[in-house]
Amino acid sequence: MNDTENVLNFPILIGDIGGTNARFAILIDSYAEPKHFPIVQTADFETIDEAIQNSILDQTSILPRSAVLAIAGPVSGDEIDLTNCPWVVRPLDMMRELGLRDVIVLNDFEAQALAVAAIDDEHMTKIGAGEKDEHSSRVVLGPGTGLGVAGLVQSRHTWIPVPGEGGHVDLGPRTSRDLEIWPHLETIEGRVSGEQVLCGRGIVNLYRAIAKADGKDAKFTTPAEITTAGLNDSDAEARETLTLFVTLLGRLAGDLALVLMARGGVYLSGGIVQKILPALEHGSFREAFEDKAPHSALVKDIPVYVITHPLAALLGLAAFARTPARFGVPLDGRRWKLDR
């Protein structure tokens, strides 16, 4: 695709659609800051088209001509299912119903990867040692409604996001305490994947398993209750849950750093890691991240950052929408465009 074909017509609707929340903004032109709209709860609308019409288009006189949407799930075909949400993205219907002439659909963690290339240091908190190589591969990892994973590599001065479903890799027990807890974890067809323990519902899964392993009743039912009690040290099972969550996140982050040789850094995104930042800074995360014999010394030199920008994915989408040629984002099968 040449540079002319790669250009998007303004105004551009950008959207980050997760399993629980959807965030939208409109870019008026390539120089203006995005016009943000209130966060949309996906459960409040039957379809994404209804959400965009009611929450965005009915609230502004601006009529977007193009859209760049990042969704939580693999992008394939003209009907795109979200992994943890009943919404289905149908770009052709969206163009007819919402007046759009150009729609691009990316994976949500491609947007997070794009954000890593665009975000300033002031919106990141470093966890532990290591210094990033500005031109080396990077990994983005984000526990939220699910567990998102993406890579970012550079070739010929172009950043290329690498989407995937790395949140669904196997995650096994390692310590004697893990072996006590693991039999009580809820599985998917017998598997304990990363997403079964490293997301919102995963926190609850871990907490219940720890309580069962100790023969105790689970007092808390939500991730927020568990992490709050863990952070203020008011409940032993919640404290252990938070410690184990941080440890398992460190193990997986270190594995992914090795997979991509991510000398450019590992970046943790999403609301959960922002809320448990003290546990990440002072807990077992970095120790677990570096515990990768025979390559512990290699991983020790890789920096880890928590992205603290509240709308990081939209920041990445805006960077791409302004200048698509800056990024190596393959659009075959992921772009729907009217000829006129």
Other C-beta atoms lying within 10 Å of the C-beta of residue 150: 29
Residues 80 and 183 in one domain: no
How many residues in the chain? 340
pLDDT of res. 4: 45
pTM: 0.88
Residues 107 and 134 in one domain: no
Query: Is residue 118, in this structure, part of any structural domain at all?
Result: no
Which segments of the chain are extended strands (E)? 12-17, 21-27, 35-36, 40-41, 66-71, 80-82, 85-89, 102-107, 124-127, 138-143, 147-155, 158-163, 266-268, 304-307, 335-337
Phi, then psi, of 160 in degrees rounded to 5: -120, 110
- Domain holding 175: CATH number? 3.40.367.20
Residues 206 and 299 in one domain: yes
- Domain holding 99: CATH number? 3.30.420.40
Query: Is residue 93, in this structure, part of any structural domain at all?
Result: yes
Q: Are the C-beta atoms of residues 200 and 143 closer than 8 Å to each other? A: yes
Residues 240 and 146 in one domain: yes
pLDDT of res. 310: 86
Q: Are the C-beta atoms of residues 194 and 147 closer than 8 Å to each other? A: yes
Domain count for the chain, please give it: 2
Contacts 24+ apart (CB under 8 A), 151-154: 151/113, 151/260, 151/262, 152/113, 152/114, 152/116, 152/117, 152/264, 153/260, 154/264
Please give the chain's pLDDT, 340 residues, in tens.
444 467 899 999 999 998 889 999 999 998 888 999 999 999 999 999 999 999 999 999 999 999 999 998 788 889 999 877 899 999 999 999 999 999 999 988 889 999 998 898 899 999 999 999 999 999 999 998 889 899 999 998 899 999 888 999 999 999 999 999 999 999 999 999 999 999 999 999 999 999 999 999 999 999 999 999 999 999 999 999 999 999 999 999 999 999 999 999 999 998 899 999 999 998 899 999 999 999 999 999 999 999 999 899 999 999 999 999 889 998 999 999 987 5
Residues 320 and 297 in one domain: no
Distance, in Å, from the CA atom of 36 to the CA atom of 58, rounded to the nearest integer, reads 14
Distance, in Å, from the CA atom of 185 to the CA atom of 18, rounded to the nearest integer, reads 25
Query: Is residue 48, in this structure, part of any structural domain at all?
Result: yes
Residues 298 and 319 in one domain: no
Residues 58 and 128 in one domain: no
What is residue 120's three-state secondary structure?
Answer: coil
* CA-closest candidate to residue 280, choices 124, 116, 108: 124
Query: Is residue 117, in this structure, part of any structural domain at all?
Result: no
Query: Is residue 324, in this structure, part of any structural domain at all?
Result: yes
Query: Is residue 11, in this structure, part of any structural domain at all?
Result: yes
Residues 331 and 291 in one domain: no
Query: Is residue 208, in this structure, part of any structural domain at all?
Result: yes
Residues 259 and 322 in one domain: no
Helix (H) or strand (E) holding 299: helix 296-300
pLDDT of res. 107: 85
Q: Determine the Cα angle at 152 with ends 174 and 326, to 5°.
A: 170
Domain that holds residue 296: 123-307
Sign of the four-CA dihedral 238, 243, 249, 251: negative
pLDDT of res. 5: 62
Residues 164 and 92 in one domain: no
Q: Are the C-beta atoms of residues 201 and 210 closer than 8 Å to each other? A: no
Distance, in Å, from the CA atom of 82 to the CA atom of 18, rounded to the nearest integer, reads 8
Query: Is residue 53, in this structure, part of any structural domain at all?
Result: yes
Residues 85 and 66 in one domain: yes
Helix (H) or strand (E) holding 48: helix 48-55
Residues 240 and 301 in one domain: yes
